[in-house]
Amino acid sequence: MTDKINIGTLISGGGTNLQAIIDACLENSIDANIVFTGSDNPGVKGLERAQKAGIDTFVVDYSNIVKSCKKNGIKDRDLPEDFNLEEILSKQKLFASGASPEQTAFFLQSRAIAEKQLLDKILSYDMDLLVLAGFMRVLTPYFIDRVNTEPKCYKIMNIHPALLPSFPGTDGYGDTFAYGCKIGGCTVHYIDYGEDTGPIIGQKAFEIKDSDTLDDIKKKGLEKEWELYPQCIQQFAESL
């Protein structure tokens, strides 16, 4: 039997994927323990789900942090001591070369302030894998490099509501529906420096009928997500 791995989880909302992972851990259908659930959003249902399962929780309120950066500006002393904008700019693949340098710098700096707070929480746990379960914030190289500390060893997994590389971004099922696709799906992949571009671990597809509404697609998709995510976590556990 595989030893149990410790996973950390990050969420932004309802946490139905988190629930599927909690259930899989409790039923021993995956060899994993959840050591924490963090959210960028206070008061969400996913935090309740974690607390009910006896999991440590914390919140890093991204909206407040970004609002305060916009209101007060960002000074050098606000940034993490080990933050180097030139280095992050050279690694990041979130913004194309034509993007406004000011907006790009503001985005990367304000996210690094939030990410430092996340890291301060996360890195105090003994964690083999970080699982993004409906976490709706992109992670910058500042954060990624401090979790992926071994070369070529991915430690951050994400679930995306579309069959990547189609429909990256924040509304995978909405984009699938709007395009008129006859097949939809979900993807579990590792996080790299781009948005939804990292190596694919697993995918599941479902048929879309002409009569299906967006809600039907979301329902079919989530049911596939709840099967797929625990399977991919187990695959990771067995690979160690």
Q: Which residues bind ligand GAR (CB under 6 A)?
A: 11, 13-17, 46, 133-134, 136, 159-161, 170, 172, 186, 222, 225
Nearer Cβ to ligand GAR (99/136): 136
Enter the tokens of residue 49.
């789900």
First-to-final CA distance of the chain? 12
Give the residue with the Cβ less far from ligand GAR, 13 or 141. Answer: 13
HSE-up of 131 (CA within 13 Å, CB side)? 32
| Minimum distance, C-beta of residue 151 to ligand GAR, in the bound complex (Å) | 26
To ligand GAR, the closest distance from the beta carbon of 221 in angstroms equals: 6
Find the catalytic residue in 49, 137, 155, 160. Answer: 160
Tokens of 212: 């299906």
Question: Cβ 214 to ligand GAR, closest distance in Å?
Answer: 12
Is-catalytic flag, 160?
Answer: yes
Question: Which helix or strand (DSSP H or E) is residue 235 part of?
Answer: helix 214-239
Q: For residue 42, what are its two tokens? A: 């206070």
What is the longest distance spanned by two Cα atoms in the chain?
55
Sign of the C-alpha dihedral computed for residues 21, 140, 151 and 169 taken in this order = positive
Least Cβ distance, residue 143 to ligand GAR (angstroms): 15
User: Which positions are catalytic?
Assistant: 160
